[in-house]
Chains A and B, each alone.
Chain A
Amino acid sequence: MLLLMVFVTLLVACLAVVVAGWVARVRHEIRRRELDLPAYLLDVATRLLPAERREWGAAMRAELAHIDHGPARWSFTAGATWAAALPSPRRPAVFVVAGLGTLVSGAAAVAAYRFVPEALLFVVTTGVVLTGYLTVRVAWPVSTPVVRSGRLFGVVMLLGTAGCVAAVCYAVRTHPAAGRDPARLFNMVLAVVVIGYVVLAARARRADFRVLGWAAVAATGCAAVWAVPALSRPLGVDGLPESTFLAAGAVILLAAVPAAAVTGTWRAGGRVGLWSGLLAALAVFLLGMLNTLADQAYVLDNPDDVIAFDRSGTADLAGFVIGDNLGGLVLALVWIPVVATSLGLLGGALGAGLHPRYRRTRDLAAELMRG
């Protein structure tokens, strides 16, 4: 229950920060480009149009620029935004993806109901959100080019995410008590998190290869930091000791500095933190689940856990412990990337200041090579 409250508080705080940041950005853009709110909203809506419809977006924006009456501007903007949001009838793939997604989701839900009923909520939520996301992506495709290293990064993330889902399904199948409350509530949270990872894996394909390179360095560093205690002694149910998290944080911070110095933007540091944090969180989740499932001697060494176990009404101690750990690991999938991004932003702020020095060194090296 405490974990859930912490998670909800974190989620609300993150949402508040995102909304406040978005409002500040909109206000800044409106002032900078001397637009009013209807013109800005229409601009955003028409920017998402596929290439074959871009001219129509420009037509609607130009038309709005000729309307002076305030309510008429709002009315036109509402209608034109709606028109821009309609998927192009030239994209039958939209209906194919929506139909296939619904079919696959339905089949997965039936299979879950039959074999792993405790995971039904998770499967249904994942299916619905993923189908909706894929349909939207096909209806309004992004024209940014795909980077080869990004594709590899995305595949690794997808494999890690699939591994997490498989580990959860296995745990719930072998220990049904692990899927009971409070872990059942985590079904939906896990579904949303898994969708987030899939979406980000798709986005990784279009990320800056320099950022991904430093993120891979940071992730490898984290793996090395975690491998030392894992190889030197058998891990308990709790998994990794706290000191390894501190060392991993330092690795991410250090990797963010050169990424920002090379690209010249502090945001690159944040992205290094995000991508490496996502990989690290997947590794922590998988390692934690493997440790939990491999442990054959489940004990409750905390008095609060003993009380919670008595109240749970289950006789399956292993299932209770696995469910408890599962909740903590699901939260780790959220907080590790958040903390890593914050550390990355800090490293990015340091690294961006080094950009002029990096450029001078690069130019000098180029001259030396030519000479």
Chain B
Amino acid sequence: MVRERKLSPQTIAVLDALAAQPDSWRYGYELCGQVGLKAGSMYPILVRLAERGLLETRWETEQPAGRPPRHLYRLSGQGHELARSITPTRARRARSPRPRLEGA
């Protein structure tokens, strides 16, 4: 059971990026480039998501010559559920007009 906790916009962006290609395994630097986050923000988010069971992780099996295998990530079942539950909420928020301040 995932504990209810308010997600930061950066975490939501990472969830969105992972949910966009649910079956592919992604690596950290690729996600940094896609979401526009530095490694200093990305890795703590990935650590938290993995610790909450929202991410599956594994190491690259086909090792590029002379370089170590990378750590790969994709959403788990719970992660998919969470990503799906967030998306309609965000879409609703985007559609609703912002209240205007009277007299401004």
Binding site for B on A (CB under 8 A): 53, 55-56, 58-63, 65-67, 75-76, 78-83, 86, 89-90
- Residue from A78, A80, A89 in contact with B43 in the complex, judged by beta carbons closer than 8 Å: A80
25 contacts between A and B (CB under 8 A): A58-B68, A59-B28, A59-B70, A60-B39, A61-B68, A62-B68, A63-B27, A63-B71, A65-B67, A66-B27, A76-B29, A76-B32, A78-B38, A79-B39, A79-B40, A79-B42, A79-B43, A80-B39, A81-B40, A82-B40, A83-B39, A83-B40, A83-B41, A83-B44, A90-B51
B17-72 residues at the A interface, CB under 8 angstroms = 27-29, 32, 38-44, 46-48, 51, 64, 67-71
User: Using Cβ atoms and an 8 Å threshold, which residues of chain A touch B70?
Assistant: 59, 62-63, 66
A79 to B87, CA, bound (A): 28
Please give me the residue from chain B that is nearest to A53 by CB atom. B47
B43, A56: Cβ atoms under 8 Å?
yes
Residues of B close to A55: CB separation below 8 A: 71
In the bound complex, residues from chain A placing their C-beta under 8 Å from that of B27 are 63, 66
Give A321 Cβ to nearest chain B Cβ, in Å: 56
Q: Is the CB of B39 within 8 A of A66?
A: no
Taking the nearest CB of chain A, how far is it from the CB of B47, in angstroms? 6
Whether B39 pairs with A76 at a CB distance below 8 angstroms is yes
Residues of chain A contacted by B28 (CB below 8 angstroms): 59-60, 63
- Min CB–CB distance A134 → chain B (angstroms): 24
Q: Is the CB of B29 within 8 A of A66?
A: yes
Q: Which of B40, B47, B64 meets A66, CB within 8 Å?
A: B64
Which residues does chain B contribute within 8 Å of A81, judged by CB atoms?
A: 40
Q: B41 to chain A: which residues have CB within 8 Å?
A: 79, 83
- Inter-chain CA distance A314–B53, complex, in Å, is 69
Q: Size class of B's contact patch?
A: 20 to 34
CB-nearest residue of chain B to A55: B71
Interface centre among A53, A62, A90 (most CB of B within 10 A): A62
Question: In the bound complex, how far is the Cα of B41 from the Cα of A76, in angstroms?
Answer: 11
CA gap between A78 and B32 in the complex, in Å? 14
Interface SS majority for chain B: helix
Contact in complex: A86, B29 (CB < 8 Å)? no
Q: Report Cα–Cα, A67/B33, bound state, in Å.
A: 12
Q: Which of B59-104 contact A (CB under 8 A)?
A: 64, 67-71
A59: B residues at CB distance < 8 A: 28, 43, 70-71
B30 to chain A minimum Cβ distance, whole angstroms, is 9
Chain B contacts for A65, CB-based, 8 A: 67-68
Cα A82 to Cα B44 in complex, Å, equals 10
CB contacts (< 8 Å) of A89 on chain B: these are 48
Shortest CB distance B67–A (Å)? 5
Which A residue sits closest to B28, measured CB to CB? A63
Q: Considering only CB atoms, which chain A residue lies closest to B70 in the complex? A: A62
Partner of B47, one of A56, A62, A78, A82: A56
In-complex Cβ contact of B71 among A62, A75, A83, A90 (8 A): A62
Interface centre among A55, A61, A81 (most CB of B within 10 A): A55
In the assembled complex, the Cα of A233 lies from the Cα of B27 at a distance in Å of 75
B2 to chain A, nearest CB (A): 15
Check B67 against A67 for contact (C-beta < 8 Å): no
Bound complex: CA A56 to CA B28 (Å): 11
Minimum C-beta distance from A100 to chain B (A): 26
Quote the shortest CB–CB distance from A205 to chain B (angstroms).
30
How far apart sit A63 and B39, CA to CA, in the bound complex (Å)? 10
Question: What A residues does B39 contact at CB under 8 A?
Answer: 60, 63, 75-76, 78-80, 82-83
Residues of chain B within 8 A (CB-CB) of A58 are: 68, 71
Task: Say yes or no: A75-B38 contact (C-beta < 8 A), given A55-B71, A66-B64.
Answer: yes
Partner of A67, one of B29, B42, B51, B68: B29
* Minimum C-beta distance from B38 to chain A (A): 4
A66-B27, A78-B40 are known; give 19 further A-B pairs, CB within 8 A: A55-B71, A56-B43, A56-B46, A58-B71, A59-B70, A59-B71, A62-B67, A63-B39, A65-B67, A66-B64, A66-B70, A79-B39, A79-B42, A80-B39, A83-B39, A83-B40, A83-B42, A83-B47, A90-B51
A304 CB, nearest partner CB in chain B, Å: 56
A66 touches B67 (CB 8 A): yes
Closest to B60 in A: A62
Residues of B within 8 A of A53 (CB): 47
